[in-house]
Amino acid sequence: MAINLALKKPTISSSYLQPYEPARAVNGDYMTPMSRWLCTHLPGWLTVDLGEVYSFDRWVVRQMPIAGWPSPDYCMSDFTLQGSNDAESWADLDNVAANTSAIVDRMLTAAASYRYVRIYVAKGLNANDKFASLMEFEIYQAPPSLAGLIVKDSDDHIVELNPAFNSNTDSYKATVLLSVASVTLIPTVLDSSAVIKVNSMEVVSGTSSAPITINVGTNQIEVSVTVDGVTKIYTIEITKAAAANPYLKAISITGNNKVAISLDQTFDPKNSFNYTALADYDDTSATVVLTADDPNAKLSVNGGASSSGPITFPVTMSSPGDYSTAIVVEAADGTTTQSYSLKVTRPSSAYISSIDPIPAVTFIKDPGPGTGFVRDYYNYKVVTIVAFRIKVFLEDYPNINKVSFQINSGSSTDLPHDAFSSPIPVPAAGSNFVTITVTSQTGGATKKYIIEVSK
């Protein structure tokens, strides 16, 4: 039930005729003929001090005919409702002209908030417009409402409401960027007795609510204002748009021997979409891990089912050759996609199966321990006093039939499979370094063996 804010509140008037003082216009008795205000000089006014700022949206003027005088003769003709917060500067809120009604009951187009209200009479009774009189002047509190509402994101930026805030509008929408993690609300009311709650948590007028997490999609926030047991609800629907981010963040490849396989290109997923990688001949399989830049994006491989989060899949390389994978990243918005290709190559063998020195020498692993040539060990020392030659036997012969042979920084020469090299001299002091480089037939993989020769 709406509350008459003017009832029995302090009053003053521009003039009155005893005993028709202004207080009689707010005493709640409008049926007793003597219970009225009578103003003898126009224009005139009657002011009510509500005691504090209140929000109101309805005003009623009960006039003499309700207590027995003829109507419309004893109805006031022209008068205005005004509001003020200092009792000096007044704002017109509503106006009545050429009135003939005994009861004027009017709603404001929008709730007003003032401490002082007054009825300003420009033209009095229809029977004698030099006098003004009324039985009761009533001001009714508006339903609970906010006076203001500010929404801020987690970066302290103001979030624009649609429509712009108006205390009479109770439903709003807003959008925020994907980067926004939360919002806070700053509601204000003019009625100090109002209780404000944001998502059921009480908030003091003019202060920030606790942060409210904002997820991708729509997020509903409810603000309630309660005064004297009456509650008004405001709703704010905040939409966090899904990202249109269809890019990879990382590609990780590991061979079955647990050694990482590097991409041949610099990884630049927003500008480059085709990648290659060279595995080792001994890698008969590889494990690929794909990570999307947006954790909410979905990934699919070779037309398979899409899934979010990092995905792991095997690449089986049963024989040397190229193994291609088609990758699609679907952004969280469900429409934006980006395709990538990944080609992992298992090269043919670039190993030396054995080395035959003439005269015989001992190959010492560097660093040790151990002696003897092993296909997948690449650094050796030879200690001898005489020059020697070597024969190289290739694992993938006849697909490859030669190696590159170099002593120190001299020119590289081709050394055929199962053929003697030129003599490898023993320096009087220090060391000579023999470098043997093997390039695979497919994939371009290389193996480099180094032999340090000294006395």
pLDDT, tens digit only, all 455 positions of the chain: 678 999 999 999 999 999 999 999 999 999 999 999 999 999 999 999 999 988 899 999 999 999 999 999 999 999 999 999 999 999 999 999 999 999 999 999 988 989 999 999 999 999 999 999 999 999 998 888 898 999 999 999 999 999 999 988 999 999 998 889 999 999 999 777 899 999 999 999 999 999 999 998 899 999 999 988 889 999 999 998 777 899 999 999 999 988 999 999 999 999 999 999 999 999 999 999 999 998 889 999 999 998 888 999 999 999 999 999 999 999 988 889 999 999 999 999 999 999 999 999 999 999 989 999 999 999 999 999 999 999 999 999 999 999 999 999 999 999 999 999 999 999 999 999 999 999 999 888 999 999 999 99
User: Which residue type is seen at 316?
Assistant: T
258, with CB counted inside 10 A (0-12, 13-18, 19+), is exposed
Neighbouring-strand partners of residue 292:
248
Please provide the size of the chain in residues. Answer: 455
Q: Each residue of 58-83: b (16+ CB within 10 Å) or e?
A: bbbbbbbbbbebeebebbbbbbbbbb
Q: Which of 181, 189, 245, 266 is nearest to 219 (CA)?
A: 181
**CA neighbours closer than 13 Å in the CB half-sphere of residue 410:** 14
Domains annotated on the chain, with CATH: 11-141 (2.60.120.260), 148-240 (2.60.40), 248-346 (2.60.40.10), 352-454 (2.60.40)
Give the tokens for residue 245: 């981010």
Cα–Cα distance for residue pair 308/328, rounded to 1 Å: 12
For the chain, how big is the Rg over CA atoms in Å?
Answer: 46
**With left for phi above 0 and alpha for psi between -120 and 50, is residue 55 left, alpha or beta?**
beta
Q: Which of 285, 251, 279 is nearest to 267 (CA)?
A: 251
Residues 6+ apart with CB under 8 A from 146: 165, 167, 187, 188, 189, 196, 223, 225, 234
Sign of CA dihedral 260, 265, 266, 272: negative
Neighbouring-strand partners of residue 447:
438
Helices marked H in 314-441? none
End-to-end CA distance of the chain: 111
**pLDDT value at residue 427:** 95
> Which DSSP state fits 90?
-
Q: Is the separation of the CB atoms in 327 and 351 below 8 Å?
A: no
Q: Is the separation of the CB atoms in 332 and 292 below 8 Å?
A: no
Q: Is the separation of the CB atoms in 262 and 279 below 8 Å?
A: no
Q: Vertex 415, ends 357 and 410: CA angle to 5°?
A: 95
Q: Is the separation of the CB atoms in 99 and 134 below 8 Å?
A: no
Q: Which of 182, 214, 183, 209 is nearest to 198 (CA)?
A: 209
Q: Is the separation of the CB atoms in 81 and 121 below 8 Å?
A: no
